[in-house]
Amino acid sequence: MTTRDLEQSIFRALTKMGTYLCFEVMMPDPLGRSGRNLERVDLLSYDTKGTWRFYELKITKSDFYSKNRHTFKGHLNYFVLPHDLYEKVKGDIPPEIGVYVARINEPYFCDCVKKAKRQPLQVDEEKLKFAFMQALSREHGKYRHSIREGDSLKTRVRALENAIKESDRDDIMPICHFCKYHYPIDIPIGEKHFCRFCEENQYWIFDEARFAAK
């Protein structure tokens, strides 16, 4: 299981009405400093009842026992672990820390196998809210950027399709070795010809099975 798999699992398990989630939230510094060396929590949640929950995601035993500090400053704090790792380290988990474990036979879902004990919030709440909003704004920016990239890709696909429809020059234009379409500009790679769209996106590299079949 990868970190991304574990992120998707816990995000799916926690997503519900009235609960707000964000990954990689930087903790406010008591002295007002800023920088990359400040603590970060892997996942932070806040609900309409005013409860802050901190989640630390660990994939390997060395990661669990590493010197990296566990950012447990919330009312409720949890480890999120793969099932096999949980079996190895469950004896070393503090009694006040809860645990979510990824299911073995059902991907992308976690179960709470140990409840956390409520504690006082260990960080200024107003500053924590501001840090939470900053992280949410960052994630929204990533989302908007991905939409722009998707729109750009769709535009290029439409342009390629229109060029194919308008062209009847099968005897003149080379055929792309990957997508099998005719395109005005070809890129020779070895003895093969590729349209610029396939070459720029390097589909011929990332889909070797399809490349070999064609």
Mean pLDDT of 131-140: 87
In angstroms, rounded to a whole number, what is the distance separating the alpha carbons of residues 202 and 210?
13
In angstroms, rounded to a whole number, what is the distance separating the alpha carbons of residues 41 and 149?
29
The alpha-helical segments, DSSP class H, found in the chain are 3-14, 61-64, 83-89, 125-166, 196-201, 203-206, 208-213
pLDDT at 89 over 80: yes
- Radius of gyration of the chain from its Cα atoms, rounded to whole angstroms: 24
Return the percentage of the chain with pLDDT > 70, whole number.
Answer: 63
pLDDT value at position 208? 46
In angstroms, rounded to a whole number, what is the distance separating the alpha carbons of residues 84 and 78?
17
**What domains sit in the chain, N to C, each tagged with a CATH number?**
3-131 (3.40.1350), 168-214 (no CATH)
Q: Taking a C-beta distance cutoff of 8 angstroms, is the pair 173, 167 a contact?
A: yes
Pairing state between β 192-195 and 186-189: antiparallel
pLDDT at 210 over 50: no
pLDDT value at position 139? 83
Q: Taking a C-beta distance cutoff of 8 angstroms, is the pair 80, 56 a contact?
A: yes
Mean pLDDT of 10-39: 80
pLDDT value at position 114? 94
The residue ranking higher by pLDDT, 142 or 110, is 110
H or E element, residue 78: strand 76-81
pLDDT at 213 over 50: no
pTM over 0.75: no
In angstroms, rounded to a whole number, what is the distance separating the alpha carbons of residues 45 and 76?
10
Give the Å distances, CA to CA, from 162 to 122, 130, 183.
59, 48, 10
Mean pLDDT of 172-178: 58
